[in-house]
Each structure stands twice: as C-alpha cells, then as structure tokens.
Amino acid sequence: MSIRDKLPAGSPLGFGTAPLGNMFRAIPDAEAAATVRAAWEHGTRFFDTAPFYGAGLAELRLGEWLPKQPRDSYAISTKVGRLVLDEIEDPAARNQGEKPGVFAAGRPNKIQLDYSAEGTERSIDGSMKRLGVDRIDLVFVHDVAQDFHGDEWLARFEEARRGAFRALTRLRDQGVIKAWGLGVNKTEPCELLLGLKEFKPDGFLLAGRYTLLDHSHALQRLMPLALKRGAEIIVGGPYSSGILAGGATFEYQKAPPEIIAKVDRLREIAVRHHVSLKAAALQFCMAHPAVAAVIPGASKPDRIAEDHAALSESIPPDFWRELREQNLVDPAAPLPAN
C-alpha cells in the first residue's frame, strides 16, 4: 500500500496548515476559519498539520471544522517530536533553528522536544484532542534534521530511531495509524532512514527540497532511492517559501539576488506562454513518479481557490521545453509535458 492509497481518491492537492499557526503573522480566527472552509468547499480532503504550528494553534483551528465532516471522507497527517505543554513561555524566545520567529505569534504554551516512544504516543493523543478526531492517518517525525538541531541532529535522529520510529512502526502494524515517515526540510535524514534495514517508512513529507526553483539535490539523491524503496513523497512548500507565488521570501528569509534573478527568468517565460507561475510550480512537483501529493500552505480563502485552479491549469508543452533549453530545470527532472 502506498501513500496514495491512504489518501482519499483524487486528493493530490492537500492543505498545509502551518500558516494557521500564525506563521510570521497573527491571523484572525475568522480568517483562519474561512480558509479551512474554503479548502473543504474546493474539494480538499487531505490536511497536514503539526503541534509545532503555533504550539497547537493550527490543530485547534482545524479541529473547529473537520469533526463536523464524515471522518472517512478526509485524511489527516500530523507530526511527533514536540510536545505542547500547559506551561507558558515566550513564543518569540523559542529556538527555531534556521527559522527564527517563525511562530512568534503562536500560542504561548511551552514546546518540549521529545522523540521517545512514550513522547510519540503522548504527542498523537494531544493532537487527536486538539483536532477533535478519534484517529490520525499519517504521522511524520518532525524536523529531525540539521536546520533545527545543527550539529546535534544525528543525536536527535538516534533518539528517534530508538523511540519514535519503533513506536510508529508498532502503531502502523496494529492499524492505529495508516503510515509514518519523516517530515523534514532536508533530504539527508530521509536518506539515512531509508538506509536502515530495521524500518520501512511509508514516505516523507519533504518541504522546499523538490520545487521548480530547488530540486537538483533531491532529484539526484532522495527521489531515486525513495522509488527503489517504495517510499512516496508529499511535497511541502512547493512555492519555495512564497517567492514562486508572488512573495519575496525564500527559505523563510528575504530572497537573495541570485534567487530573485532566477524567478524573474521563470516568470518571463511563463508570461510569454500565458502560464501562471503557481501552476508551473505545482505541476512540476506532481510530475515526478515518487510524488504522491503536494500541500501548499494558505492563510486566506482566495489562495485556496488559486491553488486548485493552478493544479488544473493547462500548460503548453513548449513552456516546459523552453525551461529545459534555458537550463532552468534539471535535465533529469520529469516534466508534465513528458
């Protein structure tokens, strides 16, 4: 059974709910609720979230809508590795690794790292309570990587190997969850896990590493290995932190000049072929056979409508051909035109 088989039929476009955790800005409750409602009304049936997103805020906001819907009609993925506690702390003072202040506007509940087996089960229980559901479909071990833990990431990975990986394997075998893997922004932890014979992850939620703007590293290393091991990829951050959707950030920071220049070249070609850059970004991700779904984030209802329109937009083969000729995509990257 693949990740695709565990998602509702016809659900390659999911909703990444990190923005609902007040990612970089405080979102009014009414706006958040309208965004979740718009996702459902446009046909979204796969929702990804995490305790980290605003210290449970994104899960709570999803929990105001999803329990009202038939449980078998949608799939939820969440993360483990961080526990949301009742204690209070300053959200702006948290260690966010390479993404300082990402959830400074989130809830003030203290967040505690915990990749143990016991912590994994506690995390799942907490997520189910905040979401108001009786089960979670897919569970990803969150951010066990360099961008959050620096030189200590391998030690954290070992904690997860001894704890979370074994717990999630057992829960999957018992039918409590349907699938598990890693939810990370780097390829190396995924490659390391795929090299461990004692585990068989179902797939990975890989954010920002297989996009129209940044894909060669993952294409060469992770994607062929994932195909070989039968692990599928859910692509997070398909707009490269916003710059492919008209924003100014890349990797959650102000985009450097070389990235801006590359995006300008992509946009010029898109305009010439009457293609929206959002459509190109989403459809590029979905063209790889290892990719099961793509989950752009959104904090406004109109963004949801744009995402659904972008995935179904007709893009002429000449557009992709020109990207290839201009060396704007890796020569080995599968393209929708193929």
Residues noted as catalytic: 48, 53, 79
Q: Which tokens in the block code for residue 235?
A: 């692509």
- Give the integer Cα–Cα distance in Å for 233 and 285: 10
Output DSSP code: residue 26: P
Cα-Cα-Cα-Cα dihedral sign, residues 189, 195, 198, 202: positive
Of 163, 130, 172, nearest in space to 144 by CA = 163
Of 165, 168, 159, nearest in space to 193 by CA = 165
Q: 10 Å Cβ neighbour count for 58?
A: 34
Q: Which tokens in the block code for residue 130?
A: 């905040």
Of 61, 66, 103, nearest in space to 82 by CA = 103
Q: Which tokens in the block code for residue 131?
A: 């979401």
Q: What are phi and psi of 67, to 5 degrees?
A: -60, -15
- Give the integer Cα–Cα distance in Å for 198 and 221: 21
- Give the integer Cα–Cα distance in Å for 280 and 235: 14
